[in-house]
Structure 1
Amino acid sequence: MDRRPKRLKAALGRAFLQAGWLTRGRALAYCRILGVYGWGLFLSIIVISHWGTDFEGQPICADFVSFWAASRQVLDGHLADVYDKAKHHLAELSAFPGLSFGNFAFYYPPTFLLLCVPLALAPYRLSVALFLILTGTAFVRALRRLLPQRWALLPILTFPGLVVGVANGQNGLLTGSLFGWAMVLLAEHPFAAGLCLGGLVIKPQLLVAAPVVLLCARRWRAVAGGICSGLGLIAASWFVFGATSWNGFLHMSHEAQGAFSHGYVQSWKMQSVFAAAHLLHAPAWLAYGVQITAAAFALSLAGWLAARLRRRAADLGEEMTASGQVAVMITAMPFCSPFLLDYDLACLAFPMGWLLLQALRTGWWSGEKFVLFLAYIYLLGARLFAELTHVGPTPFICAALLCVLARRIAPDMWLHLKQIVVSKADWFSRRQPDAAPVATRDNGGVQA
């Protein structure tokens, strides 16, 4: 009897499920390599730049151009022009005359415009530096509160999501820090954690999973905090900018879909389920159908896991329970919006940190090391991979991350499902006349 298939299966199991090759020393070495590559590439662009433009003639941290131009329009008394795509582009060109970079339209609600107003008080380069330093510091500080160990500083500083957020000049580190501080504060200061989550009305598509998780977890103080900060920001933006800004935003929201369809944001840049289906040449109706189905499943699972964690509070402890609920919220978020880019996923560092804490506490379960390894490294090359292969990896990696979270939170249910699958497989093999009997062995735990 040929034993090669069994040997291949065992080798694959050791490589992907046990991942014994991924020792602590090698993991830290990979972090150093990623850090040298990511930060080295970014710093090289800064060094060879000329008056704020890179070697391709694009502004450094190009996405920040839209934020800075919107601030300049408001400060100059041209509020209505912020949500006029042509006039907004003229404001961008006035900051970088003669450049032919893309049209970075302002697709954000007036709640985010409220935060953008002071940006143009400083020159572009100083403004973008201050913005990224402040949001990056808040992001790193939240991760350090979650992972205070000395060795954790290197993986945090070299995390590709941090590099991508800085290189793009985007607000992903701001939204990620809001998620992160909500995770840190939920156990002892639930109202403050809710205030952080309510602040995500600056980018409301990231907030979809939050109410589901908080309500299923019965975090009433956090719900109250979220309502206060969310409605407070909406009211403040209405008071400062008036109804005109909100009408302009609603009109621009339709323009966002047009920007995607006209190629301003290519499918390979997007990280959503919709984009992954679109890359596989699915028609729009099917891509939206897959997106809605994935969102419904992810939200249902997130709500169930949040309730499950609430019932396990005595076993895990309040701090681990509360942070786990926010980890579930963050991991479900990528399935909830068709418009999602790589810098929006910097917040995945926090559920990864929660899983790492669980592994330090009880040991690694099968498959966890490899899933965390993939989730850690993929952001640095997500766009390039999708452009070259026309396969969007994000939904698959986020689904794997959600699965290992679910297994940690509900190990008994996972073992039950595994037994059902194994029994069905055994039944199917017995139905095959030429199938040879294969002995199975239970390892006596939920870690398989």
Structure 2
Amino acid sequence: MDRRPKRLKSALGRAFLQAEWLTPARALAYCRILGFYGWGLFLSIIVVSHWGADFEGQPICADFVSFWAASRQVLQGHLAEVYDSAKHHLAELSAFPGLSFGNFAFYYPPTFLLLCVPLALLPYRLSVALFLILTATAFVRALRRLLPQRWALLPILAFPGLVIGVANGQNGLLTGSLFGWAMVLLAGHPFLAGLCLGGLVIKPQLLVAAPVVLLCARRWRAIAGGMCSGLGLIAASWLAFGHAGWGGFLHMSHEAQGAFSHGYVQAWKMQSVFAAAHLLHAPAWMAYGVQIMAAVAALSIAGWLAAGLRRRSADLGEATAASGQVAVMIAAMPFCSPFLLDYDLACLAFPMGWLVLQARRTGWWSGEKFVLFLAYIYLLGARLFAELTHIGPTPLISAALLLVLARRIAPEEWLGLRRRIVSQAGRFNRSEPDVSSVSEPGRAGVQA
């Protein structure tokens, strides 16, 4: 009898399910390589830049140009022109005459414009440096509160999502830090955690999963905090900009939706389910349909898991349950909006960190190390991979991350589902960890 298929299956299981090759030393070595490549490339651009322009004559951290130009328009009394794409691009060109790419329109709501107003009080280079230092510091500090171990500093600083957020001059580290501090504060200071989540009205498409998770988790104080900060920012932006700001934003949103649906924004830059379907040449109606189904499924899973963590908080501990609820909120976020870019996914570092903490307590479960490995490294090449292959991997990787979270949070249901699949198919013999391991915090496991 030929034993080669069994040997191949066993080898694949060791490579992908157990990931025995991913030892702690090797994992740290990969982090060094990624950090050296990502930060080295960014620093080389800074070194060869001249007065804030890179070697091609474009401003460094180019996406920040739109924020800075919008601030300049408001400070000069041209608020209505912020949401006029042609006039906004002229404002960008007046500051950077050689600009040949970038955000030609300001697609953000007045809540974010309110935060942008002070930016042009400083020269561009100083403004972008201060913005990125503050947001990156908040992001790293939140991750360090979650993973304070000494060995965790290197993976945090080398995380590709951090590099991409800084290199693009984007607000992904700001929104990621709001998610992260909500995770850190939810157990002990739920109202403050809600204030952080409410701050995401600056980019409301990232906030879709938050109400579902908080309601299912019955986090009433966090909901109150979110309403205070969210409604407060909306009210402040209305007082500051009035109808000119919000009316212009609604008009710009309609214009952006049309440009996006008709493919004027390259789909390979996007990381959403819609973009993945569009890359496979699905028509717009089908891509939107798949996006809606994915969002409904992800929100349903997130709400169910949040309720499950609430019921198991006595066994897991309040801190673990609360941080897990924010982890599933973040993991469901990539499925909730068709307009999603790679820098928006820096916040995935927090559910990944939560999984690492659980693995350190109970040992690694099959497939977890490989999923975390993919989720950690793929952001650095997500756009290039999609451009070259016309395949968007983000929904698949995000789904794998959400599923390993679900298995950790609801192991009994997962094992019950697995037993039904095994009994029906009769060909899956992969072993799963004992359910009792979840409630044994002292049990040692393989550490990454």
Which TM bucket (shorter chain)?
A: over 0.9
- CA separation in 2, counterparts of 1:410 and 1:102? 44
Give the match for residue 435 of structure 1: none
- CA separation in 2, counterparts of 1:52 and 1:183? 36
Give the match for residue 71 of structure 2: 71
Give the match for residue 340 of structure 1: 340
- Matched residue count: 436
Shift in Å at residue 444 of structure 1?
Answer: 7.0
- CA separation in 2, counterparts of 1:337 and 1:400? 18
- CA separation in 1, counterparts of 2:173 and 2:307? 28
Give the match for residue 356 of structure 1: 356
Is the CA contact 1:143–1:156 (under 8 Å) kept in the aligned structure 2? yes
- CA separation in 2, counterparts of 1:62 and 1:56? 12
* Aligned CA distance change for structure 1 residues 218 and 92 (closer, same or farther; 3 Å): same
Is the CA contact 2:331–2:398 (under 8 Å) kept in the aligned structure 1? yes
Question: Helix, strand or coil for the counterpart of 2:229?
Answer: helix
- CA separation in 2, counterparts of 1:31 and 1:317? 31
- CA separation in 1, counterparts of 2:258 and 2:92? 20
The one-letter code of the counterpart of 2:389 is T
Task: Indicate yes or no: 2:289 matched with 1:289.
Answer: yes
Give the match for residue 434 of structure 2: 445
User: Scaled by the length of structure 2, what TM-score is found?
Assistant: 0.95
- CA separation in 2, counterparts of 1:208 and 1:262? 24
Structure 1 residues 47-446: aligned runs within 5 Å: 47-261=47-261, 264-426=264-426, 445-446=434-435
* Aligned CA distance change for structure 1 residues 328 and 444 (closer, same or farther; 3 Å): closer
Shift in Å at residue 99 of structure 1?
Answer: 3.0
The one-letter code of the counterpart of 1:69 is A
Shift in Å at residue 262 of structure 1?
Answer: 5.8
Is the CA contact 2:62–2:102 (under 8 Å) kept in the aligned structure 1? no
Is the CA contact 1:65–1:104 (under 8 Å) kept in the aligned structure 2? no
Question: Helix, strand or coil for the counterpart of 2:188?
Answer: coil
- CA separation in 2, counterparts of 1:232 and 1:88? 27
* Aligned CA distance change for structure 1 residues 442 and 204 (closer, same or farther; 3 Å): closer
Gaps of 5+ in 1: 430-437
Shift in Å at residue 15 of structure 1?
Answer: 0.3
- CA separation in 2, counterparts of 1:287 and 1:54? 37
Is the CA contact 2:65–2:103 (under 8 Å) kept in the aligned structure 1? no
Question: Helix, strand or coil for the counterpart of 2:174?
Answer: helix
User: Scaled by the length of structure 1, what TM-score is found?
Assistant: 0.95
- CA separation in 2, counterparts of 1:47 and 1:299? 44
- CA separation in 2, counterparts of 1:322 and 1:194? 12
The one-letter code of the counterpart of 1:445 is D
Deviations 1:244-283 (A, max 9, x none): 1000000000121233356553100000000000000001
Deviations 1:281-327 (A, max 9, x none): 00111100000000000000000000000000011100000000000
Deviates more, 1:375-384 or 1:56-65: 56-65
Question: Helix, strand or coil for the counterpart of 1:242?
Answer: helix
Is the CA contact 1:108–1:249 (under 8 Å) kept in the aligned structure 2? yes
